[in-house]
Amino acid sequence: MNPLAKYFRGRLHRRIFAWFGFTIFMTSIVVMLAVRFIDSGESDSWSKKVERAHGFLGSRFAHVWDNPTEREELASSIARELDVDVTLEGEDHRVLKAYGDVCGRSGVSSPVLRNGAPVGTVRICWERRGGHNFARAFLPFAVALFMLWAASGVISRRLTRPIVELARVASDIGAGRLSSRVHLGGRHRRHHTPGEIQMLGDVINDMASRIERQLADQRALLAAVSHEIRTPLARIRLLVEMSRDKHGEDASFDKLDGEVSDIDNLVSDLLASSRMDFAALVPVRLEAERVARDALERAQLDPAKLVVEPPARGLALSGDPTLVARALANVVANAKSHGGGLAKLRVRAKPGFVVFEVEDDGEGFSGGEESRIFEPFYRRARSASADTPSVGLGLTLVRRIAEAHGGSAYARNREGGGAVVVLELAALDERG
């Protein structure tokens, strides 16, 4: 999964969802506090109403207390009409009659007075229905909270979805996949996408199209220029050979021929680099041993310098033949020109990789130089005055080619003297 998409889909979505939930929760708290404040403002009037209700019950039952029939009829009607439990107690708090469950001390009690002296007590309670009343009051509140939070999840997902799409395309463009485009259609229909985000998507698509077109033009221009450069180079070489035949051997002709070769190699490096810049790799199946033999042959070196370890025989890799050949040729040429001569070109197998090790007979690397030789335009001090100077792009290109083929390039000193430059390329899995 794209890391930017994962970031937006995960973190941003969760943050929006959490803020919606926090807002709903705080709104609920504020509403409950407001309701409580309103209720507390009316508590005095409520207590007065309860006090008057006690007085009313006491006076009604005081008139019929001595008549059991009328007393019980009044209590029965209150229990039936108000849907409550009514308990009648005597002067000694003994239960005389109960309509429904017997009320405990939690009920509302009203003393029955006659001439200021208590003759009994009326208790009214609704404990059986209290739990149901609480659930009945809380359920709408809980449903409302759940619906609001569910809606916040949908809204946050709808808000982050186009941002995830924009992040995906931006990441693709940064990785060189210039054909990637923002698609806000389908699930992200235009009338569901904010106008600003849709406008940003159109701008990104237009930018990607312009970059892709410009790079394609540059690729065509580079190919044309390289072809035009090589044509006069071939003529110069021909003229050098003709002059050598006419005037005899001269060191100037050798130097001129060397300069032409350097220009030709530089053009080859630039073309190889451009193939990676434009993602123009054409991978095919390559035999590792055959690639190494071709590299020695092109460098006009003794084929006996090739050492293929038994596990590497028949080992193949998938790579662009032009780029792989260029990388190995650069490493061999570096050992030949700047490493005191090529000692061995070793091909061996490593789990998942084909390894080419180029050993030279030079003085080896000084401290920290093993990594610096792969930096662009780096030239070793001992090579600055050599007869065959370099621009410093050869090994940089080798590392880029290795990474483009799923491998790596590195260097180390060799036991007994000299240096080793290693080129690792991903092996071809032919099990399927």
In sequence order, the 6+-apart residues with CB closer than 8 A to the CB of 69 are: none
- Distances in whole angstroms, Cα of residue 161 to Cα of each of 8, 152, 157, 185, 234: 9, 14, 6, 12, 57
Neighbours of 115 (CB within 10 A): 6
Q: What is the largest CA-CA distance in the chain?
A: 153
Q: What is the share, in percent, of the chain residues with pLDDT greater than 70?
A: 78
Instruction: Quickly state the pLDDT bin for 106 (edges 50, 70, 90).
Output: low
- Beta-sheet strands, E only, within 244-389: 284-287, 306-308, 316-319, 342-350, 353-360
pLDDT at residue number 248: 75
pLDDT at residue number 431: 52
Q: Is the pLDDT of residue 292 over 90?
A: yes
Q: Is the pLDDT of residue 132 over 70?
A: no
pLDDT at residue number 407: 92
In sequence order, the 6+-apart residues with CB closer than 8 A to the CB of 181 are: 169, 205, 208
pLDDT at residue number 102: 80
- Where is average pLDDT lowest: 69-73, 129-133, 258-262? 129-133
- Eight-state DSSP code of residue 427: B
Pairing of strands 408-413, 117-125: unpaired
d(CA 55, CA 110): 7
Q: Is the pLDDT of residue 188 over 70?
A: no
Pairing of strands 306-308, 342-350: parallel
d(CA 145, CA 134): 17
- Hey, what domains does the chain have and what are their CATH numbers? 1-161 (3.30.450), 176-278 (1.10.287.130), 284-426 (3.30.565.10)
pLDDT at residue number 306: 93
d(CA 378, CA 336): 18
pLDDT tens column, 52-99: 777 777 788 888 888 888 888 888 888 888 888 888 888 888 888 888
- Where is average pLDDT lowest: 22-36, 95-109, 354-368? 22-36
pTM, full prediction: 0.49
Residue found by looking up tokens 């701008």 in the block: 203
- Where is average pLDDT lowest: 35-44, 320-329, 371-380? 35-44
Tokens (6 digits) for 172:
């693709």
Instruction: Quickly state the pLDDT bin for 273 (edges 50, 70, 90).
Output: low
Tokens (6 digits) for 147:
């619906």
